[in-house]
Structure 1
Amino acid sequence: MTETFPQNSLVLYKSKPARVVSVADKLEIELDGGQTQRVRPKDVLMIHPGPIHSVRELTPRTGDIETVCELLADSSVDLPELTELLYGDDSPSSRWNTWQLVTEGIYFYGTLDSIHAHAPKDAEQKLAEREAKAKRDQAWKDFLERIQTGLPLKPEDTDHLEDTKALALAKTGQSRLLRKLGIEQTPAEAHALLLRVKHWDDWINPHPTRVGLDTGAPRIPIETKPSIPDLTNDDRRDLTHLPAFAIDDEGNQDPDDAISLDGQRLWIHVADVAAAVTPESAADLEARNRGATLYLPELTAPMLPERIAEELGLGKKEISPALSFGLDLDTDGTVIHMEVVPSLIRVQRLTYSMVEERMEEDPFRHLWQIAKAARERRRMAGATFITFPEVAIRIVDKEVHIRSLPQLNSRTLVAEAMIMASNAAARFAIARDIPFPFITQAGSEASSEPREQPQTLAEMYAFRRKLAPRQIGTTPSPHQGLGLTCYTQVTSPLRRYLDLVAHQQLRAYLRGEKTLDTEEIIERIGATQAAIAGTRKGERLSNRHWTMVYLRRHANWRGEGILVEKGEKRGTVLIPELGLDAQIRYRGDPPLNHVFTLTLNKVDLPQLSPYFTAGTPTTQKSHARA
């Protein structure tokens, strides 16, 4: 052992030089910092037998590296030989410099006993790579210093933020920067950092991307774009003599339903999308993947190619092809007979507010009476009616606009007509044994008796939390929440994929063609439900994001919040003006439906959390449902 590791010999320990101080069962070595350590002989590598009296004696040397590389082009040498070639001597300092050249691997490579030279081109490439790495390392160090000291970032810092952006968008689970800063690696924390360093601003909404949503229009290849036949020449019922009204929010771009009244027959007309989008076509598959149209305050991503809405949207052209549901009503508005027919209609497009002003005129007065009677029948059958404050959020010219939506009778009129059509379509499919996507919802009680309706916002909030989720399947069953024995949806085939599937089934049946079988319907339901859940989640989170942005731009906001759920010194309030729920702290024991005056304190945009101070207004208001 003494011969192998003489005292004062130079050895390698953990890639660093060390001097052997003494030799026993273990070696005592002195490190480059002057401290000593006992190690096993197998843990060190002999570099030079010495003598060396201090590691500090090792000094940098220069040699003719390129010439030596040429000499060793096709041969190998050991460490002492290479040292002699490079420096003309074999001192401990020279041999340590030689070993450093070997370990850095640019010009030489190998072991102590067999060292080779890299070809000149390879050496040049390795040297360039080392210099580039050193430059990158220095750039990262400078970037990190700017982050830690709060200095403005430079354009070249963008690359260092790529994995942080990817984490903020939930495309990866790791960020080198967050790890270095000791910050929890979550999308929200990454978002917060990007805002803090001003690489992102409030106008970047990460939530659709996090959910995995496609925010662009369908990109159907040119060769497979849907061909839209001249449906006006199809075998259709001519209903153009009846006034048909497509009633929507202002700015709606995909009108897919309209209503008409023909004596005691109520017509609900729906865009005949299935005439152009057939099962397994490119447009059908795209719609299946999306599940539904995505509505965000900043954009709309349609489920179907925009050309289909332009061609088949009701009222987009003078004459519109439709699939019409004719419901014959008795004197109290009960449906006694129905038929489904392809049709041609002449549509007038109206907004809810326009119709609201004409509710005392026919046909809207008569339609309203039908809607009220249908709503009362559903109430008597056990339906539950929950009405929360609603708002419309839009982004216009870098401004967030939040508009309260009034509870208009015209909205109820249209909603009841659509429910009547969907209920009738479900009964039509059941009677003819057509495989169909039925929508069901279990209730807290099986009886069809009228239930006590929640009256206040707090009662409605609590009731909604207890509602069973709706289910979609091929077996019809009651929808307790709507008070119907069977239900589906058929009135939005431009916007909801399963509505389109229902239309495809009805169209095939009416034309005497083969319908999709039950297994194919189940397959479509399964493929669509996850997509729809993602779409709704993206919409919900995006609406909250833009509400937070609105509040950040209205730092002095004050408004009312109604207590709908309470706990120990804190509870949930609904803020009608914003269509927002939020957590607040309060003093005392306020009752549910208590109205607080809220003052905005701060907004945590990445966490989607607003913070308010709760005060008590001078007057109380009633917040029972009208």
Structure 2
Amino acid sequence: MSIHQGNPRIDALVLYKSRPARVSALDDKIELELEGGQTKRVRLKDVVLLHPGPLRRLADLTAGLDRLAGQSGSFEEAWELLDGESTTVTELAELLYGESSPEAVWASWQLVMEGPLFEGEPEAIRPRAAEVIAQEREQREAKARAEQEWADFVARIEKRVLLPEDGERLREVERMVYQQSEHSRILKHFDVAEQPAKAHAFLLRVGHWPAEHNPYPKRFGVALAAPALPVPELAEEPRLDLTALPAYAIDDAGNQDPDDAISLDGDRVWVHVADVAALVTPGSELDLEARARGATLYLPEGAITMLPEAATAALGMGLKEISPALSFGFRCDEQGELHDIDVRPSWVRVERLSYGETEQRLSEEPFASLSRLVERFRARRAANQAARIDLPEVNLRLSDGQVIIEPMVRLAARELVTDAMLMAGEATARLCQEREIAIPFAVQPPPERIEQPESLSGMHAYRRFFKPSRTTVEPGAHFGLGLPLYTRTTSPLRRYADLLVHQQLRAHLRGEPPLDASDLATRASQAEVAGAAVRKTERLSNQHWKLVYLRAHPGWRGRGVVVAREERRTVVLIPELALETRLRAKQELQLDAELDLLLTSVDLPELEGRFRLVDG
């Protein structure tokens, strides 16, 4: 403060840093008696005279305040009497207590400081405007309510008894789990580390989330519902009629988006693919939405499609009696080389089969002939040192709230379809290169050393040598597939890169200019970023649900295979779950040794299941 009521004398009551003090001595400085019996020497400008005294002891103020308690007039009445006129702290004391003693002056000044009726300095106290007072009171009351609500919330958290409205307050912890925030008042209060996994564990512990809650789709910002966009009607155009040729869409049982089928016409293979580009044109709303999503998201909870479900219903292979397709035809010679490549918009009549059903018919036509043709192609890839990594895989789904895990059986039918799709990809890449159509090629450089491992540990190790596959407008070999040229083209319903290839081919077939390489690269890159988020969401979600399954089966026992040794731990693969874990074994375990394992604990937030060896 900077207002001085003259020079204070000994035993005067002054303000020092907003607190009361008594002047105990005077010379070139002022010596003060402070609360608690301390003394301090200060300059004149550091104090404000509140009452000339005499105040013999600062402790007398407390006794005086006790005497005045219950004797004061109404603070509100004093505010009304002043009617906007300024006053001094001494005059205010007279109004309130009928006296102007040091005790009354200090009590009055305390009331001024506490507000909200007055403001100013001891020699110039002003009544505040009614609307300002009302606003401040409302703010104080709101603050008091908020503090009480916070205290009640903390108490409920401690008791693990939450109310529905607590969910809104816990959104800040959710945002930390979803990596949308780095700080949480709630976690700080409960001394919980501000980390996604710790926040996740907190929400489970207090009962806000059930154990099975999957946070990963929201963490990576993927779309959680199918696009709500209209799908246009299929335009009239010339199409090759292949309806007389038997065509087969072969998928896992229960597949909902069949986007490819196979036919054999003499020695000519046809791979029919859903003609998505006939409905989804470059730059359209559907195209932009698909590009932003990158790919269909496949979760055990269900699929969130890249395109509206109506697009699948209209274009899926075999979902109608006659399906529109973009058909890729080619022949495969004795050396496994593809030639006589053709691409046509077509009509096809498709029969849907599961891999299991097809497996039973491999000795029948056309599957027996298709298998022989595909074997030539597969042999060429093997001669090019294509990697064959057969690590365990599982089908993972939810059924009536239960996690179902089914090991994926290695079937010849599945390999037949896989190689047929690779054939279509190589054929498309070659055709586009020959006709100078820009497309996103899938390329992969070779690893530092090339192997053909046969054991689980060898395949596990070899996979780690691989350099990632990448999408580029520059053609190049794909080492892992053993192909000199390749593009993904058989899944345009569920992968934007494939749709982009179809759009380029469709433009070329109509005699229109396709996108140039630069524009194509930009669109492919945008979709790749989105697709990476989809793949990461799928990977961590599958890990999450495997651990939910184990949590529901305490004491689970099963077999594991040693696939790697680290400095202090052993990496073990559990084939029936396609799950990796790490053990701390007392003795060194041999690679590919089979172990009996017992589940000891599950940590869902840390995505970790812990096991121990079972003797015997």
Q: TM-score, normalised by structure 2?
A: 0.92
CA distance in 2, matches of 1:40, 1:161: 50
SS of the counterpart of 2:301?
coil
Instruction: Tell me the SS of whatever aligns to 1:341.
Output: strand
Q: Find 2:62's aligned residue among 32, 56, 61.
A: 56
SS in 1 for 2:464: helix
CA displacement 1:463-510 (0-9 Å, x = unmatched): 111100112111001111111111110000010111111000000001
SS in 1 for 2:242: strand
Residue 130 of structure 1 aligns with which residue? 140
Distance 1:63 1:595, change over 3 A: farther
**Residue in 2 aligned with 1:379?**
382
- Find the counterpart in structure 2 of residue 459 from structure 1: 458
* Shift of residue 376, structure 1, vs aligned partner: 1.4
Contact 2:550 2:602 in 1 (8 A): yes
The structural deviation recorded for 1:596 is 1.6
Unaligned segments of structure 1, at least 5 residues: 619-626
| Partner in structure 1 of residue 182 of structure 2 | 173
Q: How does 1:426-445 map to 2 (within 5 A)?
A: 426-444=429-447
Separation in structure 2 between the aligned mates of residue 69 and residue 514 of structure 1, nearest angstrom: 83
Query: Any conservation in 1 of the 2:332–2:377 contact (CA below 8 Å)?
Result: no
Q: For the residues of structure 1 that align with 2:467 and 2:257, how far apart are their CA atoms?
A: 31
Give the structure 1 partner of residue 234 of structure 2.
Answer: 229
Cα pair 2:73 2:96 within 8 Å, conserved: yes
Q: What residue number does 1:614 align with?
A: 613
Residue 248 of structure 2 corresponds to 245
Larger Rg: 2
Match of 1:185 in 2: 194
Q: Could you say if the C-alpha distance between residues 259 and 27 of structure 1 is closer, same or farther in structure 2, counting changes exceeding 3 Å?
A: farther
Preserved CA contact (<8 Å) 1:78 1:115:
yes
SS of structure 2 residue aligned to 1:389: coil
Q: Are the equivalent residues in 2 in contact too, given 1:326–1:339 (CA < 8 A)?
A: yes
Moved more, 301-310 or 48-57: 48-57
* C-alpha distance after superposition, 1:207-250 (max 9, x if no partner): 11111111111133xxxx331224xx420000000111111112
Q: Structure 1 residues 92 and 564, CA, compared in 2 at 3 Å: closer, same or farther?
A: farther
Partner of 1:581: 580
CA-to-aligned-CA distance 1:8-47 (integer Å, 9 cap, x gap): 555556655555566675755433xx36364755666554
Structure 1 residues 484, 38: closer, same or farther in 2, change over 3 A?
farther
Q: CA deviation at 1:162?
A: 2.8
Q: Measure the CA separation in 1 of the matches of 2:306 and 2:228.
A: 11
User: Are residues 552 and 73 of structure 1, via their aligned partners in 2, closer, same or farther at CA, if it must alter by over 3 Å?
Assistant: farther
The answer to whether structure 1 residue 399 and structure 2 residue 402 are counterparts is yes
Q: 1:84 to 1:216 in 2, by over 3 A?
A: farther
> What is the identity percentage for the equivalent residue pairs of Structure 1 and Structure 2?
45
Do the aligned residues in 2 keep the contact of 1:478 with 1:486 (CA within 8 Å)? Answer: yes
Q: CA deviation at 1:321?
A: 0.5
Match of 1:314 in 2: 317
Counterparts of residues 514-593 of structure 1 (less than 5 Å): 514-593=513-592
Aligned match of 1:210: 219
2:331 pairs with 1:300: no
- State whether residues 336 and 378 of structure 2, in contact with CA within 8 Å, keep that contact through their aligned partners in structure 1: no
SS at match of 2:202: helix
Q: Partner letter of residue 38 of structure 2?
A: T
Q: Partners of 1:29 and 1:388 in 2: how far apart? A: 82
Question: CA–CA distance in 1 between the matches of 2:107 and 2:334?
Answer: 105
Classify 1:330/1:21 alpha carbon distance in 2 versus 1 (closer, same or farther; 3 Å): same
The runs of 5 or more residues in structure 2 that have no matched partner are none
CA drift at 1:555: 1.0
Report how many residues are paired. 604
- Residues 19-30 of structure 1 aligned to structure 2 (within 5 Å): 27-30=31-34
Tell me the secondary structure at the aligned position of residue 234 of structure 1: coil
1:61-96 C-alpha deviation (Å, 9 max, x unpaired): 654233333344443334333343344333344334
CA, structure 1 residues 9+423, in 2 after alignment: closer, same or farther (shift >3 Å)? farther
- How do 1:76-115 residues align onto structure 2 when only pairs under 5 Å count? 76-115=86-125
Q: Whole-Å Cα distance in 1 between the matches of residues 200 and 39 of structure 2?
A: 47
**1:528 counterpart SS class:** helix
Partner of 1:624: none
RMSD across aligned positions (CA): 2.5
User: Deviation per CA, 1:262-293, whole angstroms, max 9, x where unpaired?
Assistant: 11000000000001000000010011111111
Question: Structure 1-normalised TM-score?
Answer: 0.91
Partner of 1:622: none
Alignment match of 1:36 (pick from 35, 38, 41):
38
Using the alignment, how far apart are the partners of 1:588 and 1:155 within structure 2?
Answer: 52
Show the counterpart of 2:368. Answer: 365
Deviations 1:560-589 (A, max 9, x none): 111111123412111111111111111211
Distance in 1 between the 2:12 and 2:350 partners?
99
Aligned residue type for 2:258: P
Secondary structure of 1:200's partner?
A: coil
Q: Is the 8 A contact 1:83 1:98 kept in 2?
A: yes
Q: After superposition, what is the alpha-carbon deviation per residue over 1:128-184, rounded to whole angstroms, capped at 9, x for unaligned?
A: 332232122122223324434x45334454444231222222221111111122221
1:67 corresponds to which of 65, 72, 77: 77
Going from structure 1 to structure 2, the CA distance change for 1:15 and 1:159 (only over 3 Å counts) comes to farther
Shift of 1:330: 2.7
Matched AA of 2:525: G
Counterpart-to-counterpart distance in 2, 1:228 and 1:606: 46
Secondary structure of the residue aligned to 2:606 is coil
Q: Does 1:199 align with 2:208?
A: yes
1:120 is matched by which residue type in structure 2? Answer: A
Q: Are 1:416 and 2:407 counterparts?
A: no
The one-letter code matched in structure 2 to 1:198 is G
Give the letter aligned to residue 341 of structure 1.
R
Looking at structure 1, the residues matched to 18 and 613 of structure 2 have their Cα atoms a distance apart, in angstroms, of 63
Q: Deviations over 1:250-271 (max 9, x none)?
A: 2211111110011100000000
For 2:62, the aligned partner's letter is R
Separation in 2, partners of 1:69, 1:187 = 54
Task: State the AA in 2 paired with 1:542.
Answer: S
Secondary structure, aligned partner of 2:282 = coil
CA contact (8 A) 1:20 1:30 kept: no
The structure 2 residue matched to 1:116, chosen from 112, 121, 126, is 126
Tell me: CA distance 1:115–1:529, structure 2 relative to 1, closer, same or farther (3 Å). Answer: farther
